[in-house]
Amino acid sequence: MTLTEQIYAQAMVLTQDSCDEKLQLLEVLCRSAEISLQQSLRDGVTPEDCKADFVAAASLYALAAMSELDELSKLEEVKAGDLTLRRGSTDSAACCLRYQAEMMMKPYMKDRFSFQGV
């Protein structure tokens, strides 16, 4: 089983969605999460070095992205006069999933910022 397949299988356990179209999207998001997360690993660290955390975190990132996409399609307010379309606030479920993934992978990740002289 490839790493992407493991991430997708983990995400499938965590999702309650069974729509084929959304599951195909989830598979793409899992691949994207894997690539993104792999590029963020510290030098010398491979996904195999932290496989359980890597798989879990990538699946959480994919589910967070899917949750955000679901929220984008929902409008909170629609008006016809002077046309007002408003989306709800930030998806708190996606933020929570992303935070959990970040905490899980923090020991393996590159530093996100650095100070440079001017």
In this prediction the pTM is 0.78
Per-block average pLDDT, block size 10, for the chain (118 residues)?
93 85 91 95 94 96 89 62 63 86 93 62
Q: Which residues neighbour 51 within 8 Å (Cβ) at sequence distance 6 or greater?
A: none
CA 90 to chain centre: 15
Residue 32: Cβ-neighbour burial (10 angstroms; 0-12, 13-18, 19+):
middle
Give me the pLDDT at residue 74, please.
64
pLDDT of residue 18: 76
Identify the pLDDT of residue 71: 73
Rounded to the nearest 5 percent, the helix, strand and coil shares of the chain are 65, 10, 25
Q: Is 70 left (phi over 0), alpha (psi -120 to 50) or beta?
A: alpha
* pLDDT value for 75: 57
